[in-house]
Each structure stands twice: as structure tokens, then as C-alpha cells.
A and B are shown apart, each in its own frame.
Chain A
């Protein structure tokens, strides 16, 4: 248990569906991240939020829409996804303010697009 909780753990959705992934942390962290991990590939950084402000969008397609209403919650809204978007989506959080603080990861949401 890392203190970072992701829901749902598994999600199957059709290409025309709209769904949302949720990430929650009560560690007092103020930086939150979304990563994508496709099969047998390294983690790809998607978005970084700092005090609710998006500071990094790593050329992610607009069918992925992040939302950070407060420092404890992070959402990833999904719409009109493609089968190649099937992957493990991981959320992480860390304390802003320096390079000497570790990140904590959730267990991920396994997404399958059919």
C-alpha cells in the first residue's frame, strides 16, 4: 500500500465510450503524474500537475483529457479511444520542492479498448 489509490483497477471500454480514471492520494503531496505503460514497453510520462496546474503534456492525443481539481485528486478522462490505447495507466505523486523526494505510484488501471 503506497498511499496512492487508483480506480478502477480494470476497465474494458468500447471505442465510442467515455470513461474516467481516478487517482487519489492523501500523502500531502502536491505534484501528480499520469503514466502509460503498453505491453513490454517502459513507462511513458503523459502529464505532470503541480499544485493543480498542468506543467507537462508529453504530446498526448486530445482523446486523453486530464483534470486535477485539487492536490489530492487526479482524473484522466477518456473518449473515442483506439485499441492501441490499451495499456496499464499509472498515477504517481510526489512532494514538490526539490529533487530529493521520491515518487509513490498507484497499482494502476488496466485498460482494454475493444
Chain B
């Protein structure tokens, strides 16, 4: 897997946009960038993924730099329920199946 680097923790005010950065300078050309989050003691939840272009869905937006060495996950209007650990991952393939390796992630705290 391409190694990803994230800040260990971030704070954001409720109602504001939360911007979570991720560095993945060793990502290869066919590796996607995925974001998952884990709310306390629950299974991780898929948020969004992208390859080259910016992506948006009902949960978040993903901005990938042109050189693909970094990306930013944007939660446009953070709520208290967005408090979680956010993981940025660039999985590789094992015989066709994804190998998702989780790092420490970023612990995002949304403050009222």
C-alpha cells in the first residue's frame, strides 16, 4: 500500500467546514485514495474515494492535487455526529481483492 500521512488530531466548530489533509507522495498511478471513518467502537464507514478527479457525494468532497501526492477530505457543514477517526488509505490489490491497511488516522472532534 502507498503510505499515507495524516495529522493525529483536529478540531472543528459545528456548522463549519472540516478540511482533513492527507499526504500520499508514494501513490502509484492506479491506486485510488479512499476515506473511511470510525465512530467510537463501531465498524469503519466508507465515505468517498477518487483517482484523479475531485469527487463529491452526499457525505463529503474529495480534492486531489494534480500530482496526486496529497488530498483533502471536506465535510462541508460539520455536525457533532461527525466526531470520529478519519482514515485516508491508498489500497493495493492482492489477487484482485483490495488490501486495506489502516494507519492511525485523524481524530476529528466537532465542538458545539
- Select the stretch in A12-20, A74-82, A98-106 that faces chain B: A98-106
- CB atoms of A101 and B95 under 8 A apart: no
For residue B99, CB closer than 8 A to chain A, the reply is: yes
Q: Could you tell me the dominant secondary structure of chain A's interface residues?
A: strand
CB of B92 to closest CB in A, whole Å: 8
B interface residue numbers (CB < 8 A to A): 30-32, 34, 36, 41-46, 49, 51, 91-105
In the complex, what residues of A have CB within 8 A of residue B94's CB? 48, 50, 55-56
- CB atoms of B46 and A103 under 8 A apart: yes
CB of A86 to closest CB in B, whole Å: 14
- CB atoms of B96 and A107 under 8 A apart: no
CB of B16 to closest CB in A, whole Å: 27
A33's nearest neighbour on chain B, judged by CB, is B100
In the complex, what residues of A have CB within 8 A of residue B32's CB? 99-100
How far is B92's CA from A100's CA once the two chains are assembled, in angstroms? 11
- CB atoms of A103 and B31 under 8 A apart: no
Contact for B34 among A2, A44, A102, CB less than 8 A: A102
CB of B10 to closest CB in A, whole Å: 17
- CB atoms of A56 and B44 under 8 A apart: no
CB interface residues, A 69-114, toward B, < 8 Å: 88, 90, 92, 94, 96-108, 110
